[in-house]
Structure 1
Amino acid sequence: MSPSITQPDVQAALGAAKQFLFAQRVEEGHWEGKLSTSALSTATAISALEQVRQCGTSASLRFTQVYSQASAADGAHSKFKSVPDLLSHTIQRASRWLVAQQNSDGGFGDTDRSHSNIATTYLVRAALKMTALDQEHLAASQAAAEYTARQGGWEGLRQRYGKDKTFVVPIMSNCALAGMIDWRKISPLPFEAAWLPQSWYRLAKMPVVSYAIPALVAIGQAQHFHAPSANPLLRGLRNAARRPTLRVLEKMQPASGGYLEATPLTSFVLMNLASMGLAHLPVAVNCLRFLLDSMLVADGETGREQGAVSHQPQTQIPNHEDGSWPIDTNLATWVTGLSLVALGRENKLAVGLSSERCTPDLQASCVSEHDSESSTQCFPECIPQRFPQCIPHRVVRWLIDCQHTQTHPFTGAQPGGWGWTDLSGAVPDADDTPGAILALQSLDLDDPKWSRLRREVHSAIGGGLLWLCDLQNSDGGMPTFCKGWGQLPFDRSGIDLTAHALRAVSSAMKDYSNVAAANPRTPTKARLDRLIARGRDYIERRQRPDGSWLPLWFGNQDELDEENPIYGTSKVLLAYAELGWGDSPAAVAGTQYLVQSQNADGGWGGGSSVAYPAVTAAQMQSDRDIQIGDRSAICSTTEETALAVESLALLEIQAGRRPLGKPSIIRGVSWLANHARPECYEHSWPIGFYFAKLWYHERLYPSIFSVAALATVAQGEESADAGEQNRLTKPQK
């Protein structure tokens, strides 16, 4: 028995998803999202703070000025008489939070919804041992030790990451600082390679990924300090390389102090510098400032001022009530881009003034003077039910301002790309750049009053297109950050990145004349056509025999290999639908894979670990009515179900068919409608990867993906109705 779903049902679910999504905006009108708390991040931060605390006076004196300024601004922290007191309090608070995250098997997972893994568990053990809190939490420490032993110990840790040293060596260095392993048993990192010109890095065959150079330098130097090479020539070279590579660390460090805005990477740098007695260096003090700024407070927000474009150093010490750290400060640019594209699925998004409440009446009477664009006010109370498609122009300007306009010191990336956040630690990449281009393309800027803003949008898009063309690898795929770093998995071309880039380029080419007129550096149509052709060839060469594709930056922890073919296949099919390739053999095989992978509950993805708040009896019966295949023990996720529905629906629309004429889409939409509630949207699941298979979940993914899927279905049904109405009213010959 198949569930029934009507257009009003779709609209009701879409309205609920939109209402939730609009409510998540920050005061400026864009979205910041909320990343999961992370036991892994918290463990590394504890170890870093402890190493600084052990350095004593020199580090404290360096940080005292920043600390004193913060204390003067925030009297709540006057109880801390010194930096060591602050660090001790923070470590105690964080350790209590950390121990409370232990899973029943004795291990620790990356997030509060993650399976245990050997990497995070080793880091927790190191943090507790280094701080001498392992005796205070004796039972937890013993259970964690038993877990790592069952997982194969050090050899099990090495096997998890293979030849990629990006994460395994930092983890083992943390454990060495805690006295758990001898430094000589850890593969040395050739930090002297960072002495080379940055443009040569990709030729040096480094054992870490392109975005881990700060870890290479700090950990490599610590290895040289604690266990120098027996080779006198190599030892001499590394002695000579210390100062120059420390300057590399300084050059790469953003104003916030946090490398990539990431707690783990910044913590690894700080703890290793401090272990050499270098916690007094400005680069280390800035790392410490970042960690204290980014610790989560009681409501789950960071101590950093929320909602501001922050390219300047922060000095605010947060109220340490939560006691944990996320993996990164936020994904503001990424989730804002995704939100705008999702909201623009039905119709292009109208842009409204930011000085007043956005209502239909205001939209109809917007003044046409360009000076009106300069308002610094915003309208956080815009009511989506009354005028859901109005986006404040300030958000558009914010997104344009997130584009990097200078050569980036971290990766050497040329201007034109976007990173994942507006904060100073972001680095331009091949997922956020297409996301921003598609978001800007989703805006309705045809009104003459937006002529100046329209030119700025087109110019930004042209710069983004050039950036993508320059980044494309020789295999036709798109890497994340740097071209030509193909040695390690997370530096190689990615299916999800390439599909996203094809969508962005194809969308922008529909408005090519305006884009090229606004930015003379826009690539030629011929070059963009080549990018698309080479990208398609790369994607089709990477299709698996079962018709699926695997993404680079997303996974499924309930799958044995932790891969997520639902995400990868959905993203490719979305690109194929938008580019008109829906009837190609590759798309047909991918579609068949998705349909056959649908779970018994009507959704996609997920697994045995997934659980949502209880639904009503009628909804439970609806789920039971959807029985296909042998996947009855699996609970789907909102994220993966929405992605599959969106891609399948768009393929049907492009083929001239109703989305709700396909049984698999009906079942998927029914699942989404049954879970169209705030408590379900707030229950995001760890499908994202950060760094090297470090899991995260993002609070906005369920609502963003649901809006995109349901809006696609709604738009398809409305178009089909309009087509039928036209046929009925068309005069007969």
Structure 2
Amino acid sequence: MTSVHTGTVQELKTAVEEGAGALFEAQRPDGVFDYGSTVLRSTLATAGAVAALHFADPGGAADLITAGVARLRSTRNDDGGWAMVPGLASEPGPTAVAAAALHIADPEGSAEDVSAGRRWMDGYGGLEAIPHPEVVLWCRQFYGFAGWLAPEKMRRFPLELALLPGLYRRLFDLRLPMASALGLAQTRHRPLTRLQRGLARWAEPRALLVIRQAFEHEGSQGSWSEDAWVTGLVCAGLARAGLGQDMVEAAVGWFRRTMHPDGSWSSTPLDGAWTMYAVRGLIEAGRGDDPRLTASRNLFVRLQQHRPFLAFGCPPGFWGWSGEHGWPAVLETGEIVSVLAKLPGREQADAVRIGANWLTDRQDSRGSWGLCVRDTKVANSGPCPMTTAQAVDALLDAGVRADDKRIRRALKWLASAQLPDGGYESVWYREHTMGTAAVLETFARCGVADEEPARRARAWLLQARNADGSWGDGHGAAGTVEETGWAVSSLIAAEGVSDAVEQGTRWLLDARTPGGGWTPEPVHEYVRRVSRYANPGFTQGMALRALGRRLAVGR
């Protein structure tokens, strides 16, 4: 028997069995755990597509624009704002961009919706109240497109930095194609000094090359990152600059092929991200040898990319969050390396080795890891404690010793990155619970759970616990399955079974839905502290990870 707070061993086994069954229901024949029908429709994606089509082909794409406008108008919240994921609470970034896109494409017919959105933004405090400089920058671009901001008031993208590729990558990271396209448009629409115009002409071919490299990496199909928001920014910039007409035409065709019947477009498909967390949870729940996971293992091996991603200066050997042409990411590469290393068989051995080498190449000079470009400090990219912990875990799973120089450098950086209260940041998850849990588990795996940074991280997790035994964001929010699951898993790794573990386990058991799964919450950061979304694969996988571990230590 386990603790009375947790329930019986049979209750844990039943929860794991039913949870695994619910996960497998989402698995496609190709191994992907697919939740795309419920989580990808995005206000930003639709607004970006509508604005881009207006600039690129207002006549030929009039039907798409009309449908997209209708979708935006129908998804406005009663308070006048929009959310990143329609149906959630209004957020400033989506509201600013949606209102501007409607004004650009349909100023008369959508006047009431535009006014409502602008009133919501005024009540929020305007663009400058948005707690993320990158979001302010993109919103100001759309305000400029709409004529609400004079061109000279828009922040200038310094196109001349394209002449220094290494610095250009470090300063813009994932945003390079978007920043390049919008910078090219500014050379036609924003007042520049004589020197700036001269440098821009010199840099223009380099900036176009970055955009084309990303375009061609995805097979020249018309998208960037398979994301309508990203594609919209690039297409709008190129169209306004009068450059890259073949890429603009391809983007218009991609928008036509990918619009949903309801007039919406989607953000990037998360085939890799859904599947890696689902499989990791099943492994932790003792289902690693289930023959159904062979398809997922083969999927991961197939999705590893063996061409360099030239736009970001990344060597081959990585995984992205989407499909076989996705953009490189340390987080996904690290998690997939760990998953493959834990699955039975030797067919994936080369993929694990190559992925670990790629992670080694991407480690920052300071010992940390960010999104994909080394030594960047771009907000929402890196360096990130949670991503660094994931990379360390992957190297350990790939057979690297804890006393290896790469691991020691990462641990030293993690100790320096700890917040004064003992918690840790995470670029891709809200606030501090999941970042702190991830780092604590890594400390435990490296044999330093008794050292000061680990003790402080553990103390932070314990004091962040809610009265009902769950964890939320660590700052008063109600508990979620995602945060509770990660906290419980981390504490088991660091100290075994404790009262906090027992109470968290009990909360997870009580949070099950009738179908055997758990309800996802928007704890994943699309943009830090501005726009969030839910990842059902992560939700189910993290619950199974915690319950599987609790069941294992109770035997």
Normalising by structure 1, we get a TM-score of 0.70
In the other structure, the counterpart of 1:174 is 142
Partner amino acid, structure 2, of 1:578: R
**Matched residue of 1:219: which SS?**
helix
Amino acid of the structure 1 residue aligned with 2:395: V
In 2, are the aligned partners of 1:485 and 1:491 still within 8 Å (CA)? Answer: yes
- Identity of counterpart residues, as a percentage? 25
Q: How does 1:431-450 map to 2 (within 5 A)?
A: 431-445=331-345
Shift of 1:679: 6.9
Shift of 1:483: 0.7
Q: Which of residues 270, 274, 278 is equivalent to 1:339?
A: 278
Alpha carbons of structure 1 residues 169 and 596: separation in structure 2 relative to 1, 3 Å: closer
Report the equivalent of 2:539: 702
Q: Is the 8 A contact 2:330 2:391 kept in 1?
A: yes
What per-residue deviation string (whole Å, max 9, x for no partner) do you get for residues 512-542 of structure 1?
A: 6xxxxxxxxxxxx69x701111111111112
Determine which of 552, 567, 574 is the counterpart of 2:441: 574
Q: 8 Å contact 2:523–2:532 — kept in the other structure?
A: yes
User: Which string of whole-angstrom CA distances, capped at 9 and with x for unpartnered residues, describes residues 386-417 of structure 1?
Assistant: xxx33353432221122222221221101222
Relative distance call for 1:114 and 1:574 in structure 2 (3 A) is farther
User: Is it true that 1:52 corresponds to 2:56 in the alignment?
Assistant: yes
Distance 1:543 1:606 in 2: 17
In the TM superposition, residue 45 of structure 1 has moved relative to its aligned partner by 1.4
Where does residue 145 of structure 1 map in the other structure? 118
Cα separation, 2, equivalents of 1:601 and 1:142: 43
Partner in structure 2 of residue 156 of structure 1: 129
SS class of match (1:677): coil
Contact 1:113 1:686 in 2 (8 A): no
Distance 1:28 1:44, change over 3 A: same
Residue number in structure 2 paired with 1:644: 487
Q: Deviations along 1:646-685, whole A, 9 cap, x unmatched?
A: 11223333xxxxx3xx222222112211222267957422
Determine helix, strand or coil for the equivalent of 1:440.
Answer: helix
Cross-structure match for 1:469: 360
Please state if 1:507 is matched with 2:402: no
What is the deviation of 1:606?
5.5
Structure 1 residues without counterparts, runs of 5 or longer:
57-83, 298-319, 351-388, 446-453, 513-524, 556-563, 608-629, 654-658, 719-733
Partner amino acid, structure 2, of 1:25: Q
How far residue 183 of structure 1 moved from its aligned partner, in angstroms, is 1.1
The residue aligned with 2:511 is: 675
Alignment of 1:538-687 (within 5 A): 538-555=413-430, 564-605=431-472, 634-653=477-496, 659=497, 662-677=498-513, 681=517, 683-687=519-523
Of 58, 61, 72, 1:98 maps to 72
| Alignment partner, residue 213 of structure 2 | 251
Determine the C-alpha separation between the residues in 1 that align with 2:88 and 2:139: 19
One of 272, 288, 294 as aligned partner of 2:258: 294
Q: Superposed, which structure 2 residues align to 1:210-609 within 5 Å? A: 210-229=173-192, 231-253=193-215, 254-255=218-219, 256-278=221-243, 281-295=245-259, 297=260, 320=261, 322-328=262-268, 330-347=269-286, 349-350=288-289, 389-424=290-325, 426-445=326-345, 454=346, 456-486=347-377, 488-509=378-399, 529-555=404-430, 564-605=431-472
Q: Is the 8 A contact 1:107 1:116 kept in 2?
A: yes
Q: What amino acid sits opposite 2:191 in the alignment?
A: P
Deviation at 1:501, TM superposition (A): 1.2
Instruction: Verify the 8 A CA contact 2:22 2:515 in the aligned structure 1.
Output: no
How far apart, CA to CA, are the structure 1 residues paired with 2:111 and 2:196? 42
Deviation at 1:277, TM superposition (A): 4.3
Residue 218 of structure 1 deviates from its aligned partner by 1.2
Tell me the residue number matched to 1:191.
159
**Aligned equivalents of 1:118, 1:691: Cα separation in 2:** 11
* Unmatched runs of 5 consecutive residues or more in structure 2: none
Structure 2 vs 1, CA of residues 9 and 606 (structure 1 numbering), >3 Å: closer, same or farther?
A: farther
Deviation of 1:239 after TM superposition, in Å, equals 3.1
Amino acid across the alignment from 2:257:
D
Which AA in structure 2 matches 1:182?
Answer: A
Indicate the RMSD between aligned Cα atoms, in angstroms. Answer: 2.6
Structure 1 Cα separation of the partners of residues 443 and 472 of structure 2: 21
CA–CA separation in structure 1 for the residues paired with 2:177 and 2:395: 33
Q: Is the 8 A contact 1:410 1:427 kept in 2?
A: no
Q: CA separation of 1:238/1:589 partners in 2, compared to 1, >3 Å: closer, same or farther?
A: closer
Deviation, structure 1 residue 186: 0.4
CA deviation after TM superposition for structure 1 residue 123, in Å: 0.7
Deviation at 1:2, TM superposition (A): 8.2
Output the amino acid matched with 1:288: V
CA contact (8 A) 2:56 2:236 kept: yes
Change (3 A) 1:642 1:186: same
Distance in 2, matches of 1:552 and 1:128, equals: 30
Residues 49 and 229 of structure 2 are in contact (CA less than 8 Å); yes or no, is this contact kept in structure 1? yes
The count of residues paired between Structure 1 and Structure 2 equals 547
Change (3 A) 1:154 1:638: closer
Residues 1:38 and 2:38 are matched in the alignment: no
Q: How does 1:694-733 map to 2 (within 5 A)?
A: 694-718=531-555
Cα deviation for residue 343 of structure 1 reads 1.3
Asked if structure 1 preserves the Cα contact closer than 8 Å seen for 2:187 and 2:241, the reply is no
SS in 1 for 2:398: helix
- Superposed CA deviations along residues 404-447 of structure 1, whole A, max 9, x for unmatched, are 222212211012222112242x12221111111111111122xx
Question: Separation in 2 of the partners of 1:119 and 1:4?
Answer: 42
Please say which structure displays the higher CA radius of gyration. 1
**C-alpha separation in 2, matches of 1:251 and 1:146:** 41
What aligned pairs does 1:20-31 form with structure 2 within 5 A after superposition? 20-31=22-33
Of 117, 133, 145, the residue aligned with 2:91 is 117
Structure 2: distance between partners of 1:24 and 1:675? 20
Question: Aligned partners of 1:247 and 1:504: how far apart in 2?
Answer: 33
Which residue identity does 1:112 align to in structure 2? P
- Structure 1 residue 139: deviation in Å? 3.6
